[in-house]
Amino acid sequence: MHLVKLGGSVITDKSRPLAFRPQVARRLARELAPSAGKGLVVVHGAGSFGHVDAARYGLKGGLKGPRQLFGTASVQWDVRDLDLRVVGALLDAGVPAVSIPPGAFLELDDGALRRFDAVPFQRALARGFVPVTFGDVLPDTERGVGIVSGDSLMSALAAALTPDVSVFVTAVDGVYDKDPSKRGAKLLPEVSPSNAPRAARRAKRGAADVTGAMGGKLVEAFEVAAHSGRTWVVGGRPGVLGAALAGKDPRGTRVKAWPCSEVKE
């Protein structure tokens, strides 16, 4: 079984509101198509359909007034619009994709995932469908509303489904030893909790990203790696995702979990 996260910065242009990249999405869908018959779950980020308005309305801080009510409704509308576009790209590639919104299978409590229910995914997979879910803003029992990131969904799904391969597709080629836009930045072929903090601290954070950028991604990626046969962070270049799913070593960063002999601090 394969679990794939399509980053919002890959399938949208995060510098412009509601800027979908249909050609990129269709190409990635074609690379995903061979995995459909083996069991495939797709998660995608909100990109410019969610992060910009979520930041503008201050949704990360919870529900504090009428302004956040409208902001929550607006962001939910936009991310569902994006989800339908992603599902459409998959359908065009011959993938039997079905959307499962986060509100249908989980609740938030003070920002943390609670009552996560993997049954909708298990049933869809058993019938040959490809479930698709996404980062969203949801009711939160403590904060009123909260944001669930696609990366958090990846770790929860990996724990429930134990995929053979998990892949995070990002706007850069993988995890670097420093900001990849800086001169001399080196792509790390492998990353583990023991060498990640430096890379995470130096990872570039987008001003409108409300879900943690590369630093937060690595925290979730280590959890995914603990339940997956192989876990990768790769870029969205042509052929890279397909290579990772075919069992090859793509250009990117292999993510390793904590060894059994080590103890988390």
Summarised one tens digit per residue, pLDDT across range 90-128 is 999 999 999 999 999 999 999 899 889 999 999 999 999
In a domain, 264, yes or no: no
Task: Give 231-260 pLDDT, tens digit per residue.
Answer: 999 999 999 999 999 999 999 999 998 664
Position 198 scores a pLDDT of: 55
Strand-pairing partners, residue 148, are 136
Looking at residue 67, its pLDDT comes to: 86
For residue 262, being part of any structural domain is answered with no
Give Cβ neighbours of residue 202 (< 8 Å, ≥ 6 apart): 176, 177, 178, 179
Q: Which domain holds residue 43?
A: 2-255
- The per-residue pLDDT for 200 is 53
Q: How many domains does the chain have?
A: 1
- Please give the residue that has the higher pLDDT: either 101 or 67: 101
Does residue 263 lie in a domain region?
no
For the cut 70, the answer to whether the pLDDT of residue 204 exceeds it is no
Residue 260: inside a domain, yes or no?
Answer: no
Whether 193 is in a domain gets the answer: yes
Residue 236's CATH number: 3.40.1160.10
Whole-angstrom Cα distance, residue 137 to residue 145?
7
Structural domain contains residue 41? yes
pLDDT score at 208: 40
Q: What is the pTM of this model?
A: 0.90
Per-residue b/e over 98-122, b at no fewer than 16 CB within 10 Å? ebbbbeebbbbeeeebeeeebeebe
Q: How far is CA 216 from CA 55, 63, 72, 203, 212, in A?
A: 17, 23, 22, 10, 4
63 to 59, 84, 109: CA distances (angstroms): 7, 27, 13
Give the tens place of pLDDT for each residue, 8-55: 999 999 888 899 999 999 999 999 999 999 999 999 999 999 878 888
Answer whether 251's CB lies under 8 Å from 235's CB. Answer: yes
Structure tokens belonging to residue 252: 């990117």
Residue 180 has pLDDT above 90, yes or no: no
Q: What is the pLDDT of residue 56?
A: 85
- Round to whole Å and give the CA distance between 166 and 130: 15
How far is it, in rounded angstroms, from Cα 204 to Cα 194?
20
In a domain, 63, yes or no: yes
pLDDT score of 205: 39
